[in-house]
Amino acid sequence: MMSFINAFPGSVAQGLIWGIMAIGVYITYKLLDIADLTVDGSFCTGGAVCAVMIVSGQNPWFAILCAVLVGMLTGLVTGFFHTTCGIPAILSGILTQLGLWSINLAIMGMKANQSMNVNVHPLIVSLRYLSDVSKGNRPFYQHPIFVVGLFTLVVIAILYWFFGTERGASIRATGANENMARAQGINTNLNKVLGLMLSNGLVALSGALLAQYNSFADINMGRGAIVIGLAAVIIGEVVFSKLFTNFALKLLAVSLGAIIYYVVIQAVISFSNIDSNYMKLISAVIVAIFLTVPNLRAKGMFQSKKIHKGGA
């Protein structure tokens, strides 16, 4: 029990970081109706760019900005494959993800990881800050939960504004009904590219924050990111769908879904003493459970309607 309590703040902080990535997944998966597998590569790209720039002496804020821009570039490549080359979206993402493996290694100087020393490099967020703030060695506003929480709120505010504009509305229309959107004179291919760029920019932002939090970027840090992103989206939808109907609140639900995901993972590990090597299996089971709930709920509603009609 104590191990879970001690690990709880770290789980929330990680959940918030991955929640930003999940919001990026939400844009492609829910708004554009595209399963974008670029995520597993662009997440690592964001972390690699941020880590290398910080180690080279660059300002961490500038490093994060560059990570976001490079992440958007990966989305542009996927969009180009899909819209210009005519490759299906899922295969376009796989191709970009495959190419990013080599590019990410090149960014890190052909090394599998790039470490950062929290005592040497000025990091915006770090695992070390959890204990430093609790001990009073750092001010509260440097606490990872507070910092990443602010990042999340800013991201949600910007997205809420953007998707309320004409361009944002046209992107949502493209995902809702592409043929109808095209009939209304909307450039659906452009919107897909913009959506993919925006999504992967957020994914890279999440990767940059996680690299700082862990004090290193690793070539495998993005492996399975799409699963975590989808888990957060589905969990947020299952738990908060009846409470959160506003678009901004739906984005917040995705972030909360990521927190729930990591808290559940930590609870399973803490209370069952399961080997951490089973993490991927545990993740798959949790995602499967939350994916099943909406289906069972829908079937239950359908059957209750049939019974009601039959009784009538």
Domain around 192: 2-115+124-311
Look up residue 115 and give its DSSP letter. E
Q: Packing angle between helix 2-26 and helix 188-214, nearest 10 degrees?
A: 160
What is the rounded distance in angstroms from the CA atom of residue 307 to the CA atom of residue 60? Answer: 60
Look at residue 161 in the predicted model and tell me its pLDDT.
Answer: 96
Q: Does the pLDDT value for residue 287 go beyond 90?
A: no
**Cβ neighbours around 105 below 10 Å, total:** 15
Tens-digit pLDDT profile for residues 89-104: 999 999 999 999 999 9
Q: How far is CA 232 from CA 43, 93, 173, 227, 229, in A?
A: 16, 20, 23, 9, 5
CATH code at position 305: 1.10.3470
Stretch 282-304: mean pLDDT, rounded?
71
Our measurement of the distance from residue 196's CA atom to the centroid of its chain's CA atoms, rounded to an integer in Å, reads 13
Give pLDDT, residue 265. 82
In this prediction, residue 104 carries a pLDDT of 95
**Is residue 301 over pLDDT 70?**
no
pTM exceeding 0.75: yes
In total, how many domains does the chain have?
Answer: 1
Work out the angle between the directed axes of helices 144-162 and 2-26 (0-180°, nearest 10): 20
Span 131-140, average pLDDT:
85
Residue with the two structure tokens 């080599």: 102
